[in-house]
Structure 1
Amino acid sequence: MKRRLVLGTLLGTLSQLAAIGLLLVSAWLISRAAEQPPVMYLMVAIVGVRFFGIARAALRYGERLLTHDAAFGLATRQRLAVYDDLDRLAPGGLGDTRRGDLVSRVVADVESGQDRLLRVRLPWTVTSISVLVVVSLLAFLDWRAALVVLATAVVTAAGVHLLTRWVEASRQAQVAPLRGELASEASELVLNAPDLVAYGAGEPVRERLRGVDARLAAAQNHLAWTTGLGNALVLLATGVAVVLSSVVATDGSLAPVLVAVLVLAPVALVDPFSDVVAAEGLRAVTDAADRRLRAFHETPAPVADPETPAPLPAGHDLRVRGLAVGWGDVPVARGIDLDLPEGGLVAVAGRSGGGKSTLALTLLRLLPVRAGSVELGGVDVERLRGADVRSVVGYLGQDEHVFDTTLRENLRVGDPTADDARLWEALELAGLADFVATLPDGLDTRTGERGGRLSGGERQRLALARLLLGGHRVLVLDEPTEHLDEQTADALVDDLLALRPARSLLLVSHDPRVLARADVVVHLDAPASV
């Protein structure tokens, strides 16, 4: 990527120099043609005009091809890094970050990283080299004109930078956070639209969305005003440079045909400095986006892996002693004792909010152990890598997400390498094979947004089949019968029990019918086996 970026920057600089050469050679050609010399005296300039005109377009195409390829590569790596951070932090380390803001970071903030490379750094590099080349050229003709252009360029660059820093830096820095807030509000409105309409509560949410949109529009308008003021400063400085260059060029020390070259030299730098104005207008936006991504990346994981992890044990029995679980410093449940032998079935019961789901996530090393111990195969899980624990212990939540794609692709989330034979085997174990076999498109049937084309029981069984494809030996099932009617719930529990003894089952539930089927029930309200 670095090589493509350097080569692209070189081509961009050459393209800008070709544009400058086109203007200056054209100025000389027009001045010389006015003297009506023999046409042969003009041939080199005529060819030069054609050369610079063609070169400018060809070099610009090469620059865009290389720099955008490098920028897209950088954006891909940044986006993958954000995905890695999400995997590292979820579910316990995201705090109050809303899903719309996360989408904004993955999309808009990463794209701002492309802008930082292409529209902030690159214009400054190209403009700086272009100024040096033009000043060096003018120094051969008249050192006074060279000093005028150099001084004007330095003052213009400093003025544009200070203008954006002093006038609009705070407003520009608001753009990235406001984009995230707008995405969050829009996401909330769309996802909860049915409930908002049913309760007549849509208007307050729409008003809040309009307010965020208005603040974002105001920040972007201020950004446009800053760009306009910066361009006005560039034109003003260019006008001053043209006047001073005219005074220098018309004192009789230069050949008449070179006067136009000296006078138009400052004009040749208007285009690159216009790009600098746009770059400075975006600097605060890209810096704010970069800070948001860095802050996300530097957020500590809720559960840190040991520096020297122990090897994964051969056994998969779970032993919990004196365990305290919670999301913060204050545990929501403590003193939990639990034994889940290989092939066993244990249920966890308790009041709502009593820590049942928190216990499940702690067993998977998604949340830290607050006190006590959890052993897997006789090894304390704090000595194991989280990914190794989760390769043995799998989790099925109350409302597992079903992607808006085919049944096949939803199942392959559990194992991307699974062939159709394994998919059908998993569906059979989950009790969904007969249903899928009746569908015209079979595994290619689309599930709809959030699994909307499936019933509640079908979605739960699809999620179970996906879990089974992961090859986990211990299954932690959090309220597996939630939102299901009695008949469907009983059938699902029957299929779950049929997974034994090849797999151990830990059922988190408050459903008496589920608890009655367990070998052991652990009550979190008063932790003791019953």
Structure 2
Amino acid sequence: MTRPTPETTRTPFRVPRLVPGIMPAAIIGGLALTSGVALTATSGWLIVAASFGPPILTLLAVIVSVRAFGLARPVLRYVERVKSHDAALAALAGERARVYDRLIPLTPARLGRRGRGDVLSGVVDDLDDVAYAQVRVVVPLVALVIAGLAAALIDAFFLVHAVPVIVSVVLVTLIVGALDWWIERRTQAEVVAARARVADLAAMVTRDGAELAAIGAEDRALAWLDEAQTRLTRAVRAESWGRAIGVGLVPLVAAGHAVWMVFVVMPWIEVGLPVALAALLVLTPIALGEVVGAIPDAVGALARAQGASERLSALLDQEPAAAHSDVPADPEGPSAGARPAVEVRALSATWDGGRPAVTDADLDVAPGEFVGVVGPNGSGKSTLLAALARHLDPTSGSYRLGDLDALAQPPAQVRTSLAIVDDEVHVFASTVRENLRLARPEASDEEIVRALRLAGLGPLLEAFPNGLDERLGTGGRGVSGGERARIGIARAILSARPVMLLDEPVAHLDHPTAVAVMSDLLEAAHGRSIVLVTHRPEGLDDATRVVSLHLEQ
């Protein structure tokens, strides 16, 4: 059998460059900063003019202007913040849904060695960087252009020779920003890789501390972590040079151009230019300091957004490992209540297209039967389960689910008959109810409580002050390894799917907890077909049959 060919071609993933509503917000932000520039310049004119003691009516118009600019600046800034963040957050919500739709068919075969938590946090952070670039990049750059143009027009009205100074402020700021961007962009990949390495090693040390201590490897692991941290420090230091150059030079740009403006206006004072107007012109580059000061952060956000966009594209543009992964389940397909048999013949599969991960595996599971799959590490136990779950297409062999050729069906259709529990059950930062409804969104509270009790979580649920509304995970109640495994089992029970695929569900639990979890699982799964992949003995005594896989020579 050859690998099925997808019926649809995946379009390349592209992050929208400009979200709707962001440009009007950027223009309003430019007007806010222009008001700030005008406020500083007119205030300077007012102070200098007032020092000559003119009649108050001479200053009244400028006093009103100062008040108007002073009020306009915060009001316009508030409107800009509301509109820009509203546009960016709306775009982020849509992009998250689109990205997760693209990510699901790639799980887990196209994630490489990255853990699910790493992928999830990485994708979330990258999407945040891309979305917030709309606010952090577009708004400051548009504001720089608008404020610079307004300042040039104002100065041109009083002294045309001052215009080149203002234009130079904008151009030099952009040059400094480009240098900052180039340095941060060039070093970003190294920073991301080093940070990921530190996170992986830190997770290993904290998660597997007892095992490392048992084999005397804790010092070696800590040495790896120290080395990774040193590498990260070097990478961050190299990246920080770009930001340091930007933050250090941009104020000098404003100050240097103010000095230049002094030399421009001094000859004109001698031929009749009012001193108050000269003060206004000299203060204009200083007033632009707030505008140009935002550019280092803007180009840094641009570098991060570009790197994030490239990483998202590299991840999401991959072809799924299972054919037809983008095809939704047929609502008229087999119902979850059907109890199909599982039949696998001479199935071989590979994760990387090279070395086979499982070869010529046979498996028969009758309706309601419990079959254990054992074998040494690397024999292909988890690969076989991935093929059954339609996470991975085999390179040869056949797989039937009841009367259907499972490999000819969309994966989503096959999975309507499968409940999958593995050794890394993910608990979302949400309520108990929402963590369970993930398996069956239409489930009632009574059904959720029943599934929790069958999974052995009844006493825990009764201990929760808020019942099903108790929050779990980050910001809520922590869960132990045994509770996490039981939550996965409760989801499988709630799904009401007739075939349960269990991939090392008690791998990280101590023996008494593992025995209790497996006992509750087998009792709750009465009447369902079970395929248990394990290297531990807990639960195998109750198996109808045990299939052993062997390493290829």
Aligned to 1:288: 307
Q: Please tell me whether residue 24 in structure 1 is matched to residue 41 in structure 2.
A: yes
Give, in whole Å, the separation in 2 of the partners of 1:20 and 1:487. Answer: 68
Deviates more, 1:48-57 or 1:284-293: 284-293
Q: 1:103 to 1:322 in 2, by over 3 A?
A: closer
**1:227, 1:281 within 8 Å by CA — same for their partners in 2?**
no
Deviation at 1:80, TM superposition (A): 4.6
Identity, in percent, stands at 32
Residue pair 2:36, 2:70 contacting (<8 A) in 1 also: yes
User: How far has the Cα of 1:232 moved from its partner?
Assistant: 5.1
Q: 1:273 aligns with which of 276, 292, 297?
A: 292
Correspondence for 2:262: 243
Segment drifting more, 463-472 vs 296-305:
296-305
CA distance in 2 between partners of 1:134 and 1:437 (Å): 65
The unaligned stretches of length 5 or more in structure 2 are: 1-17
Greater relative CO (CA pairs within 8 A, separation 6+): 2
Unaligned runs of 5+ in 1: none
**1:62 corresponding residue in structure 2:** 79
2:270 pairs with 1:215: no
Q: Is the 8 A contact 1:4 1:70 kept in 2?
A: yes
The equivalent position to 2:143 in structure 1, one of 86, 111, 126, is 126
Deviations 1:244-268, CA, capped at 9 Å, x for gaps? 4314633526445433233333333
Q: Is the 8 A contact 1:176 1:285 kept in 2?
A: no
* CA contact 1:340–1:504 (8 Å) conserved in 2: yes
Deviation of the 1:47 alpha carbon:
1.0
With over 3 angstroms needed to count, the CA separation of the structure-2 counterparts of 1:271 and 1:249, relative to structure 1, is farther
In structure 2, how many angstroms separate the alpha carbons of the residues matched to 1:380 and 1:512? 32
Equivalent residue number for residue 67 of structure 2: 50
Report if the CA contact (8 A) 1:168-1:226 is conserved.
Answer: no
Q: Which residue of 1 aligns with 2:6?
A: none
Give 2:162's match in structure 1, choosing from 124, 133, 145: 145
SS of equivalent residue, structure 2 residue 254: helix
Does residue 180 (structure 1) correspond to residue 205 (structure 2)? The answer is: no
Deviation at 1:491, TM superposition (A): 9.1
Tell me whether 1:327 sits opposite 2:351 in the alignment. yes
Number of matched residues?
A: 523
Counterpart residue identity of residue 362, structure 1: A
- Residue 317 of structure 1 pairs with residue 341 of structure 2: yes
User: What is the TM-score with the length of structure 1 in the denominator?
Assistant: 0.83
Q: Do the aligned partners of 1:476 and 1:506 also contact (CA within 8 Å) in 2?
A: yes
Q: How does 1:420-431 map to 2 (within 5 A)?
A: 420-427=445-452, 429-430=454-455
After superposing the two structures, state which structure 1 stretch, 107-116 or 382-391, moved more.
107-116
**Counterpart code for 1:163:** L
Q: Could you give the per-residue CA deviations for residues 95-136 of structure 1, whole angstroms, max 9, x where no partner exists?
A: 133567536524543343255222222111111111112222
- Give how far 1:389 is off: 1.6
TM-score by length of 2: 0.80
Counterpart residue number, 2:22: 5
The structure number with the bigger radius of gyration is 1
Given residue 468 of structure 1, which amino acid in structure 2 is its aligned partner? I
Q: Does 1:159 align with 2:175?
A: yes
Alignment of 1:112-511 (within 5 A): 112-150=129-167, 152-164=168-180, 169-171=185-187, 174-196=190-212, 199=216, 200-201=218-219, 203-231=222-250, 233-235=252-254, 237-239=256-258, 241-247=260-266, 249-250=268-269, 252=271, 254-305=273-324, 311=330, 312-313=333-334, 316-329=340-353, 330-398=355-423, 400-401=425-426, 410-427=435-452, 429-430=454-455, 432=456, 456=482, 460-479=485-504, 485=511, 489=515, 492=518, 496=522, 499-501=525-527, 503-509=528-534
2:112 aligned residue: 95
Tell me the CA shift for residue 48 of structure 1: 0.9
What is the rounded CA distance, in whole Å, between the counterparts of 2:463 and 2:266 in structure 1? 85
Q: Offset at 1:373?
A: 1.9
CA shift, 1:35, in A, is: 3.8
- What is the CA–CA distance in structure 2 between the aligned matches of 1:243 and 1:373, rounded to whole Å? 83
Instruction: Describe the SS at the equivalent of 1:339.
Output: strand
* Alignment-mate amino acid for residue 89 of structure 2: F
Query: Aligned partners of 1:117 and 1:325: how far apart in 2?
Result: 43
Deviates more, 1:180-189 or 1:480-489: 480-489
After alignment, is 130-139 or 308-317 more displaced? 308-317
Shift of residue 472, structure 1, vs aligned partner: 0.9
Query: In 2, distance between residues paired with 1:2 and 1:491?
Result: 49
Distance 1:27 1:173, change over 3 A: farther
Report if aligned partners of 1:391, 1:472 keep a CA contact under 8 Å in 2: yes
- SS of 1:505's equivalent in the other structure is strand
* Alpha-carbon distance, 1:408 to partner: 5.2
- Aligned-partner Cα distance in 2 for 1:487–1:153: 68
Q: Residues 448 and 148 of structure 1: is their aligned pair in 2 closer, same or farther, counting only changes over 3 Å? A: closer
Mean Cα deviation higher: 475-484 or 45-54: 475-484
Aligned-partner Cα distance in 2 for 1:157–1:15: 19
| 8 A contact 1:408–1:423 mirrored in 2 | yes
Distance 1:321 1:141, change over 3 A: same
| Aligned CA distance change for structure 1 residues 11 and 197 (closer, same or farther; 3 Å) | farther
C-alpha separation between the residues in 2 aligned to 1:513 and 1:274? 63
Q: Name which of structure 1's ranges 14-23 and 88-97 shifts more when overlaid on structure 2.
A: 88-97
- SS for the counterpart of 1:469 is helix
Aligned pair in 2 of structure 1 residues 262, 367: CA closer, same or farther (>3 Å)?
Answer: same
Deviation at 1:401, TM superposition (A): 4.6
Task: Quote how far apart the aligned CAs of 1:211 are.
Answer: 1.1
Checking the alignment, whether the CA contact within 8 Å between 2:187 and 2:235 is kept in structure 1 is no
Farther-moved stretch of structure 1 (337-346 vs 22-31):
337-346
RMSD of the TM alignment (CA)?
A: 3.9
| AA at the equivalent of 1:476 | L
Change (3 A) 1:158 1:383: same
